[in-house]
Amino acid sequence: MGDAQRLSPDEQIRSAREAFEEGRDFTIAVEEEFALLDPETLELTNRFEEVKAAAAGTELDDHLVGELIASEIEIKTGRCDDFAQAADAMVKRRDQLEELVAQCDIAVAATGTHPWSRWQDQRIIDTPHYARNNEILRYVVWRNNSFGIHAHIGIRGADRAIAVCNAFRNVLPELLALSTSSPFVEGTVTGLHSARTEVFTKMFPRCGIPDAYDGWAGFEQYVRFLYETKSIDEHTQLWWSVRPHLAFPTVEVRICDAQPDLAQAQSLAALMHALGARFARALDEGEPLPNLPNRLLEENLWRAIRYGLTDGLIDFGRGEVLPARARIERLIEWVYPVAEEIGAAPYLAVPQANASERQYARLEELGSARDVFAELVRRPRERVGG
């Protein structure tokens, strides 16, 4: 759950740099966001506080937090030493969540958006952090009824962490294309594969693909500018799709839609972990990494939003469009040696159909987005993540 920033800006920036300098390479933590649903109507239901209270005293309690609206809940693996440990924790947390919500007669789902529930009916949870977001963002934050999966990759060294963030910029469209799971929102079949990305990254300030920064000094200069001009008063108000986290010495990747399927969630998290480690190794060994301008990356981001894996992404080195699956297969091949070292290799795969593709295919068969969504909901006494 987001807490109000307790440190002064100077203290926050200084402590973050120190934490990166003393950090551990290639740890991994995964966060998954789920919608809380009425099991009969499948509407979003504002019952986070009830679920959190039910978790008190259980192993899940420390790994379960609120995330903006009372109809959303987040589960966290906690910091893991390798990906195999994280993958096991993902199974465990989903099972624990299923057992917990069943006690409250609540269903859960993990798609990037809810297909029809109105944002006007959702309530912001009562914490200082989210109350502040509500105060400064108003309509922008009210509309953000979206659900994602994030990965925190441990990177040692402040300058190195910024360089890894810079490198991640170039593959954010590929990660989004792989993860798209939100074709339906506000009662509309959008024709997109990631409506979540349009709702979130196109509305929030300081969101989407960040600029590349010249080491920690360049990043710090910009963050200090934001504090000094009162553009931000908490470091979490940097909502970029990849960011150096200022409370943990990690690079946090935030571009991906939530995943209905556990195996695909694990595969996606494994790729994010492996990419972070591979970027760091490339930097250590002097291997050149691209530094593409945002205007080019935005072209691929739009392609991922619109088409997911069903069309092409631009290969900027070749100056041509390649199938999205081929682009991701090349990334997997590139990261594979380091993926073997960190336990991620067995989980790397490009699915025959990702979540948004499957939803569109089922829409053709069932004729109703509601019926499609109903198949993805995990009701009480059903396993989560199948």
pLDDT of 379 = 84
Cα gap 20→15, rounded to integer Å: 9
Q: How many domains does the chain have?
A: 1
Rounded to two decimals, the pTM is: 0.96
Q: Which two tokens stand for residue 346?
A: 């067995």
Q: What whole-number distance in Å separates Cα of residue 183 and Cα of residue 230?
A: 36
Domain assignment of residue 333, yes or no: yes
The whole-number pLDDT of residue 386 equals 35
With tokens 């709702």, the residue in question is 199
Q: For residue 25, what are the domain limits? A: 9-29+124-138+151-372
Judge contact between 251 and 152, C-beta under 8 A.
yes
Q: Which residue has the tokens 């409250």?
A: 104
Contacts 24+ apart (CB under 8 A), 370-375: 370/42, 370/115, 370/116, 372/115, 372/184, 373/42, 373/109, 373/111, 373/114, 373/115, 373/184, 374/42
> Checking DSSP bridges between strand 239-240 and strand 207-208, what pairing results, if any?
parallel
- Is residue 189 one of the residues assigned to a domain? yes
**Which stretch of DSSP H or E encloses residue 320?**
strand 320-323
Helix (H, G, I), strand (E, B) or coil at 194: strand
Chain CA centroid to CA 150, Å: 3
Instruction: Establish if 92 belongs to a structural domain.
Output: no
> Is 238 contained in some domain?
yes
Query: Using an 8 Å Cβ cutoff, are 142 and 71 in contact?
Result: no
Residue 17 lies in a domain: yes
Query: CATH number for the domain including 318?
Result: 3.30.590.20
Return d(Cα 284, Cα 65) in angstroms, integer.
36
DSSP 287: -
pLDDT score for 3: 60
Give the type of residue at 185: V
- 214 belongs to a structural domain: yes
Q: Is residue 68 part of a domain?
A: no
Domain-embedded: residue 229: yes
Q: Are strands 184-185 and 148-154 parallel, antiparallel or unpaired?
A: unpaired
Indicate the residue type of 45: T
pLDDT along the chain (386 residues), means of 10: 74 96 98 98 98 97 96 98 98 97 97 98 93 93 96 98 98 98 98 97 94 98 97 94 96 98 98 98 96 97 98 95 97 98 98 98 98 94 46
Start-end of H helices in the chain? 9-21, 48-55, 83-103, 128-137, 139-142, 158-169, 172-179, 195-201, 215-228, 262-285, 294-307, 324-341, 355-366, 369-376
CB contact set of 369 (below 8 Å; sequence gap of 6+): 115, 116, 183, 184, 189, 359, 363
- How far from 121 is each of 45, 63, 70, CA to CA, in Å? 9, 27, 10
Among residues 122, 162, 163, the alpha carbon closest in space to that of 143 is found at: 122
Q: ∠ at Cα 47 (90, 66), nearest 5°?
A: 50
Q: For the chain, what percentages of helix, strand and coil (3-state, to nearest 5) are there?
A: 50, 15, 35
Please give the single-letter amino acid code of residue 92.
K
The answer to whether the Cα torsion of 193, 199, 203, 205 is positive or negative is negative
